[in-house]
Amino acid sequence: MKITHADVIVSCPGRNYVTLKIRTDEGVYGIGDGTLNGRELAVASYLKDHICPLLIGRDPQKIEDIWQYLYKGAYWRRGPVTMAAISAVDIALWDIKGKIANLPVYQLLGGASREGVMVYCHATGSDIPAALESFEHYRDQGFKAIRMQCGIPGMSTSYGLAKGNNKAYEPATKGKPEEQAWSTEKYLDFVPKLFEAVREKYGFETHLLHDVHHRLTPIEAARLGKSLEPYRLFWLEDPTPAENQADFRLIRQHTVTPLAVGEVFNSIWDCKQLIEEQLIDYIRATVTHAGGITHMRRIADFAALYQVRLGSHGPSDLSPVSMGAALHLDLWAPNLGIQEYMGYPEAALEVFPHAWSFNQGYMHPGDVPGIGVDIDEKLAAKYPYEPAYLPIARLEDGTLWNW
């Protein structure tokens, strides 16, 4: 069997996605996701200009060898653009392997470890009453785990706020990045009040999560973790940037609030110290940014040695193909924690017909051979790429901060 075509499709059905379609001389094809929010065309070029020509003529069944060839063969290892491109290839090749074997990918990995994958959603409101309403909305849909984000008094916006009522949360803006002001002090004073309100009204039945989105220093994060302990969070996400992995020692020494990190990671090396020293509880790397199923499986097995569990990033800015691939991995992984599921714009669900499903707080990848997600190329062509960027944050004095 040989690869005959590898084509990149960049489309914007609600938001931008980079999709790779690999075709073979036997008619079987595979679909992969390489979306990197705000840098989509860099991945598209990496694929089109540097990877696709190298794939033609190769045996698509040699997933491991192709992975090593693209990783070691580039000489320049790691990095979000390179790894998103490798991920797209890897997911497409697992899709092909599943189709050849006539098995869903989770069966190729070793079979299901559970009935379904617990997912968490993103509840948000401009103030506490609105956030509570959003909590109820998702709880009534059956979610067992809900991430709470909320507007902060005295700040015009914060991470995780939807624009306008009932609108899905979508941070990217068309054209240039939006600038937002950030006050650590106001945030730290307010967040415990949000969780106090949720627990007081709804009790402890639903798992609660919160995303700090890299905005605190280690000592501030330690303080927040400590102040949230009475509300028993499932996790506190990205409390501080993780480039310096040793920073998490300080947070860990001060709080038993569980920590989740890694949505911007792109390889096992980004999380090695965090995992080995048991500085985190959940690793959030994804199949689309951290080298596909092949590399994520390696991360999962490594994490299991230290009782760190998977909690993959699953935002709307990764395509439904990524969600499918993640769910196969999650269903198999003995050390699954939870999977993020932010949902998708309606148009994206139409462009990517999918076998995965949601039921009462749990998801399943479906039992279609391969990954179980396709792309309707004709429909995708109706939604051309539109430049869009994530916001940036500045402190109140104008200093550029972590968004």
CB 355 within 8 A of CB 368: yes
- Minimum distance from residue 318 beta carbon to ligand EZ4 (Å): 7
Q: Rounded distance, CA 227 to CA 5, Å? A: 55
Is residue 247 at the binding interface for ligand EZ4, with CB under 6 A as the rule?
no
* C-beta of 19 vs 37, nearer to ligand EZ4: 37
* C-beta of 39 vs 297, nearer to ligand EZ4: 39
Is residue 95 at the binding interface for ligand EZ4, with CB under 6 A as the rule?
no
Residue whose C-alpha is closest to residue 331's, from 315, 355, 307, 306: 355
Q: Which residue has the tokens 């909590």?
A: 135
Is residue 313 at the binding interface for ligand EZ4, with CB under 6 A as the rule?
yes
Q: Rounded distance, CA 93 to CA 106, Å? A: 14
Is residue 37 at the binding interface for ligand EZ4, with CB under 6 A as the rule?
yes
Residue 382, CB-side half-sphere exposure with 13 Å CA sphere:
10
- 29 forms beta bridges with 23
Annotated catalytic residue 295? no
> Token pair of 19, please?
């999709």
- Minimum distance from residue 313 beta carbon to ligand EZ4 (Å): 6
- Minimum distance from residue 238 beta carbon to Co ion (Å): 5
Is residue 266 at the binding interface for ligand EZ4, with CB under 6 A as the rule?
no
Picked from Co ion, ligand EZ4, none, the partner binding residue 214 (CB below 5 to 8 A depending on kind) is none
Residue whose C-alpha is closest to residue 316's, from 140, 109, 160, 103: 160
Is residue 281 at the binding interface for ligand EZ4, with CB under 6 A as the rule?
no
φ and ψ of 273, to 5 deg: -70, -40
Please pick, from the candidates 33, 90, 211, 270, the single residue that binds ligand EZ4 as defined by CB under 6 A. Answer: 211
Cα distance between the two ends of the chain: 46
- Minimum distance from residue 300 beta carbon to Co ion (Å): 19
* C-beta of 33 vs 263, nearer to Co ion: 263
# of chain residues touching ligand EZ4 (CB under 6 A): 10
- Minimum distance from residue 403 beta carbon to ligand EZ4 (Å): 8
CB 88 within 8 A of CB 52: no
Picked from ligand EZ4, Co ion, none, the partner binding residue 60 (CB below 5 to 8 A depending on kind) is none
Is residue 14 at the binding interface for ligand EZ4, with CB under 6 A as the rule?
no
Site string for ligand EZ4, 326-365 (x = CB under 6 A): --------------x-------------------------
Residues near Co ion (CB under 5 A): 211, 263
Is residue 263 at the binding interface for ligand EZ4, with CB under 6 A as the rule?
yes
Backbone conformation region of residue 111, classed left if phi is above 0, alpha if psi is from -120 to 50, else beta: left
CB 82 within 8 A of CB 73: no
From the candidates 213, 214, 295, 328, give the one annotated as an active-site residue. 213
- 23 forms beta bridges with 5, 29
Annotated catalytic residue 254? no
DSSP H or E run through 145: strand 145-150
Picked from ligand EZ4, Co ion, none, the partner binding residue 361 (CB below 5 to 8 A depending on kind) is none
Q: Rounded distance, CA 142 to CA 140, Å? A: 5
Rg, the chain, Cα only: 20
From the candidates 71, 138, 159, 383, give the one annotated as an active-site residue. 159
Picked from ligand EZ4, Co ion, none, the partner binding residue 37 (CB below 5 to 8 A depending on kind) is ligand EZ4
Q: Please work out, in degrees rounded to the nearest 5, the angle formed at the alpha carbon of residue 7 by the alpha carbons of 95 and 373.
A: 30
Q: Rounded distance, CA 277 to CA 266, Å? A: 19
Is residue 215 at the binding interface for ligand EZ4, with CB under 6 A as the rule?
no
Residues 166-185 interacting with ligand EZ4 (rule: CB under 6 A):
171
Continuous H helices in 277-365:
292-304, 320-332, 346-351
- Minimum distance from residue 53 beta carbon to ligand EZ4 (Å): 29
Which stretches of the chain bind ligand EZ4, using CB under 6 A?
A: 37, 171, 211, 213, 263, 313, 315, 317, 340, 390
- Residues taking part in catalysis: 159, 213
